[in-house]
Chains A and B, each alone.
Chain A
Amino acid sequence: MIRDFLDSLSESIERLGDTVRFLARILAQVPSALLRPQLIFDQIYNAGALSLVIIMLSGLFVGMVLGLQGYDLLQRFGSEDALGTAAAIGLVRELGPVVTALLFAGRAGTALASEIGLMRATDQLSAMEMMAVDPVRRVVVPRFVGGVIAMPLLAAIFSMIGIYGAQLVGVQVMHVDAGSFWSQMQASVELRDVNEGIVKSVVFGIACSLIAVYQGYHSEPTAEGVGTATTRTVVTSAVIVLFLDYLITAFFLK
């Protein structure tokens, strides 16, 4: 059993190294891909605009739950006026980037992985290679860049709708004073908090997009292979996002 564990550990490390090399290959092609912005716009639409509904709905509900829980907790100390601050910081620093990244992996990441995997399985990538078109430059890079751009925007929208949701429950239902809700939020949310959220969402965007295109590009060219790639995209993204979240949080609180 220990050997099994060691084997799978060394395999994971190997795959990590492979992924980093793939990232280097992608980054080398980014400048030439930027010359064809239309391809990237299409992918921002695919990864971003098509994820909007699920991101906004989830943001609303997470914010509403935050409003309820926050109110319940804060009113025990008689400080329910701080609800705005608590919700905003919780969303901007933590829940916005993390939940968005998890949803992004589930919605956009799986779509990317299965799309590229199917292109591999149906010889479309080989056909491009035969037409002397590098599939990494033509297929992978625009999708990666599109994901990296879309993810922080989605996280920002998530946080914004989340704050509205918290306000909806806290102010409209629980009757926290609207003035103190907003003014306390304005007074105590600092640039540092926003920066943390931005850094996280950018890093998560890179991680999730990279994992998705890597898994798709390297999937076995069979129905089962594409399925495995899709599953791995979600599982790996989720674990990596939560792990990176801890690292970045620790870094900002240092």
Chain B
Amino acid sequence: MNATSPIIDLREVRYTVGGRVIFDGLDMQILPGQVTAVMGPSGTGKTTLLRLITGQATADAGSIDVGGVAVVGASRSQVYALRQRMGMLFQNGALLTDISVFENVAFPLREHTRLPERLIRQLVLTKLQAVGLRGAAGLMPAELSGGMARRVALARAIVMDPQILLYDEPFVGLDPISMGVILRLIRRFNDALGLTSIVVSHDVHEITAVADRVFLLSGGRVVAQGTPQELHDSPSDIVKQFVGGLADGPVPFHYPAPDYFEELLARDGGRFA
């Protein structure tokens, strides 16, 4: 694989849930070593995209290739082997609540390796130091703030030295300081550890500050892609609406509904009777 061939390659992906089409004809190529942002209005299936890449959900049609492994149609053990090369940061951290911060970070090591205790200790403390929480190693997850929990989860995600790191809405509900910390860590880990990072988010300004490349999803496909600057200068209506945060545009303000006046004046209660 040379430096310019994509490490994650989605082609013509179609995915439906209960008859609702989430993706149709989704094409996306993600280059190694870059921070790629995936943005889009809520409900466009950004999280679902991560589930497809990690094999937690299976596409109905199309191909998904991650690091040379075809995810669609892979066996359970192939998917598990692939996941050992990936780390994922969940929206709320998803730390195991019955064990301490230290044990949470040590968890993948204990499950997958037979390293001596001394080495596990060193690895865990190194990763916790990298996210600035070595001092919190003895705390339980319930004692952490939202931002700290996410940093611990980040330490856990990199403890197995993955090639690919996926972030699912890493900024939701964080104060500006914690948000800045996470942003800095995303960039730093990507460059220092030689990772490929994919950040799903709708915090336009934060994420465009750190991303090398941005994909904008809407209506089940990629509607725009490019560097943050290219997106910022884009003449496309939907890109303008999203980047500018406009309430109405190609993405409508109103959920589809019957005629407003007719519904207000309906005598028998209409749809809600």
Contact = CB atoms under 8 A, between A and B. Distances in A.
Contacts of B112: 131-133
B97 A131 contact: no
Q: Looking at chain B, what size class is its interface with the partner chain?
A: 20 to 34
A138 interface: yes
B193 interface: no
A134 B80 CA distance: 9
B83 A131 contact: yes
Contact of A126 (B90, B95, B156, B160): B90
B83 A130 contact: yes
B163 to A, nearest CB: 14
Given A130-B54, A133-B108, A123 B90 contact: yes
A129 B56 CA distance: 8
A124 interface: yes
A138 B111 contact: yes
A126 B94 contact: yes
Contact of B83 (A118, A132, A138): A132
Given A129-B56, A130-B54, A124 B108 contact: no
Contacts of B86: 130
Given A130-B54, A130-B83, A130-B88, A124 B94 contact: yes
Contacts of A132: 80-81, 83-84, 108, 111-112
A122 interface: yes
Nearest to B96: A124
Interface string B19-55: 0000000000000000000000000000000000010
B101 to A, nearest CB: 14
Contacts of B108: 131-133
Interface in A113-147: 118-119, 122-124, 126-134, 138
Contacts of A124: 94-97
A122 B98 CA distance: 13
A127 B90 contact: yes
Nearest to A125: B94
A130 B56 contact: yes
Contacts of B107: 131, 133
B234 interface: no
A101 to B, nearest CB: 26
B63 interface: no
Interface in B120-163: 153, 156, 160
Contacts of B225: none
A133 B156 CA distance: 14
Contacts of A126: 56, 90, 94
B100 interface: no
Nearest to A137: B111
Contacts of B153: 127
Nearest to B54: A130
A119 B90 CA distance: 13
B154 to A, nearest CB: 12
Contacts of A118: 97
Contacts of A134: 80
Nearest to B84: A132
B43 to A, nearest CB: 17
Contacts of B92: 122-123
Nearest to B51: A126
Nearest to A127: B94
A128 B111 CA distance: 10
A126 B51 CA distance: 10
Contacts of A130: 54, 56, 83, 86-88, 90
Contacts of A133: 107-108, 111-112
Nearest to A139: B96
Contacts of B178: none
Interface string A146-188: 0000000000000000000000000000000000000000000
Interface in B68-110: 80-81, 83-84, 86-88, 90-92, 94-97, 107-108
A138 B108 CA distance: 12
Contacts of A127: 88, 90, 94-96, 153
Contacts of A119: 96-97
A132 B87 CA distance: 10
A126 B95 CA distance: 11
A123 B96 contact: no
B74 to A, nearest CB: 13
**7 smallest beta-carbon distances between A and B, as pairs:** A123-B94, A127-B94, A132-B83, A132-B80, A130-B88, A131-B108, A123-B90
Interface of A: 118-119, 122-124, 126-134, 138
9 contacts: A119-B96, A119-B97, A123-B90, A123-B94, A128-B96, A129-B83, A130-B54, A130-B90, A138-B111
Given A127-B153, A129-B56, A131-B108, 5 more contacts: A122-B94, A124-B96, A127-B95, A133-B112, A138-B111
